[in-house]
Chains A and B, each alone.
Chain A
Amino acid sequence: AQKVTQAQTEISVVEKEDVTLDCVYETRDTTYYLFWYKQPPSGELVFLIRRNSFDEQNEISGRYSWNFQKSTSSFNFTITASQVVDSAVYFCAYISNFGNEKLTFGTGTRLTIIP
């Protein structure tokens, strides 16, 4: 069965510091998709990125960047020059390209940006 591990339960950094959130997954599937979602204090889940297992190119979107390494089954998320508005719980998630269509979420990392 697929499993997503976010070993960092909580992280606190001072504003403007860079921070990396780790995500490691386990699967026997050859193709799959990985996601990051943000859950701000208001509670909703906000989609951030989707990555196809065929595409190992890193992606940058403004202050956000993602590093996907299939060899180590990791899909890490870096926030550069963090801001207080980045404070949230961040979830990594997985979906297989075969069989079920459910998102399997990690346990989340609570990120606190200290002003």
Chain B
Amino acid sequence: EPEVTQTPSHQVTQMGQEVILRCVPISNHLYFYWYRQILGQKVEFLVSFYNNEISEKSEIFDDQFSVERPDGSNFTLKIRSTKLEDSAMYFCASSVGTRYNEQFFGPGTRLTVL
């Protein structure tokens, strides 16, 4: 069964460093998302991406964040200068269509900023 994959599973970085979180969505999916979950809290939307552009972003997704689909399979989230409060689990999700279709989530990348 096709699934969303994410690498790395755990990333430790120093405050101020840049990190890139990688995702490979399900191959026939067209809509891609990033969410984050601070430890013990709810899952929060960051950004949605369709047709090679951002379709929506939350207030969390400020200028420090960017997303890219560099090729036909990868979908990346970059944080330019990490802060302590960026420590969280980051989930990538994809869906075949719009809101009617369920979003399938990857296993997550745990980002720890020291």
Give A contacts to B, CB under 8 Å.
33, 35, 37, 42-47, 50, 52, 91, 93, 95-97, 100-108
Taking a contact as CB atoms closer than 8 A, the residue among A33, A103, A107 that contacts B100 in the complex is A33
Q: What A residues does B93 contact at CB under 8 A? A: 45
Ranked nearest first, the 5 interchain pairs of A and B with the lowest CB-CB distance are A102-B45, A45-B105, A105-B43, A44-B107, A107-B42
Q: Is the CB of B99 within 8 A of A106?
A: no
Q: What B residues does A106 contact at CB under 8 A? A: 42
Main secondary structure, interface of B, reads: strand
Q: Is the CB of B99 within 8 A of A43?
A: no
> What interface size band does chain B fall in?
20 to 34
Q: What B residues does A101 contact at CB under 8 A? A: 31, 48, 55-56, 98-99
Judged by a CB distance under 8 angstroms, whether B68 is at the interface is no
Within 8 A of A (CB), among B60-114: 89, 91, 93, 98-100, 102-108, 110
Q: What B residues does A43 contact at CB under 8 A? A: 89, 107-108, 110
Contacts A/B (CB < 8 Å), 17 sampled: A35-B102, A43-B89, A43-B107, A44-B106, A45-B43, A45-B93, A50-B100, A91-B42, A101-B48, A101-B56, A101-B98, A103-B35, A103-B103, A104-B45, A105-B42, A105-B44, A108-B42
